[in-house]
Amino acid sequence: MGSMTLFHSPLSPFVRKVMVVLHETGQLDRVTLQPVNISPVNADAQLNQDNPIGKIPALRLADGTVLHDSRVICEYLDQQHVGQPLLPREGSARWRRMTLASQADAMLDAAVASRYERFLRPEDKRWDAWLDAQAEKIRRSLANLEQQHLAELASGFDLAAIGVACALGYLDLRQPTFGWRERHPGLAAWYAEVAKRPSMQATAPPA
């Protein structure tokens, strides 16, 4: 049994990011998974302890401290292993990679918010213009990745690349007709390769 507890949902792309990091850094055996099933209108009392906004992923450390937000947890885990860091520790490269990781998270925010709008809100109350705006954020980001960041993504499977891979995987899961591969063949080729990694295979959401 692991010394840390990860509040976990296999369908959350933010949880998947953390799981990929655990696999990539050899820390999976340090963590016990605590399944949770939440939505914006369905809370979990145990999750909310020391995590008042009820976010997943949340990581309870051995001393009882709770970390939440996937970026915080991934950075913490990156400080806990002895292998190659998943983010540069300092310098301009660190800020570039952190910004790329943030871009991946913004894509996920837009995709998850769109999922909730379509799945939870009654059809007659859905805001189509808002959904279109979220989709446009994702399209702009994908175009930017294709045009400016393919070489960076291919340089190593670090936190930025993990975030982008999880974002693309979530689009496939929740918006399979988005058609991002046809418009972005370079990104599609990169994703086809990283999707073969054991960490990505092991954390693929259930169909």
SS (H, E, C) the chain: CCCEEEEECCCCHHHHHHHHHHHHCCCHHHEEEEECCCECCECCHHHHCCCCCCCCCEEECCCCCEEECHHHHHHHHHCCCCCCCCCCCCCHHHHHHHHHHHHHHHHHHHHHHHHHHHHCCCHHHCCHHHHHHHHHHHHHHHHHHHHHCHHHHHCCCCHHHHHHHHHHHHHHHHCCCCCHHHHCHHHHHHHHHHCCCHHHHHCCCCC
pLDDT in tens, 72-106: 999 999 999 988 999 999 999 999 999 999 999 99
CATH code of the region 92-198: 1.20.1050.10
pLDDT in tens, 159-196: 999 999 999 999 999 999 999 999 999 999 999 999 99
pTM tops 0.85, yes or no:
yes
For the structural domain made of 4-78, what CATH number should be given?
3.40.30.10
Position 138 pLDDT exceeds 90? yes
The per-residue pLDDT for 192 is 98
Domain ranges in the chain?
4-78, 92-198
Confidence of residue 49 (pLDDT cuts 50, 70, 90): confident
pLDDT for 5-27, tens place per residue?
999 988 999 999 999 999 999 99
Mean pLDDT is lowest, of 4-18, 31-45, 130-144, 150-164, for 31-45
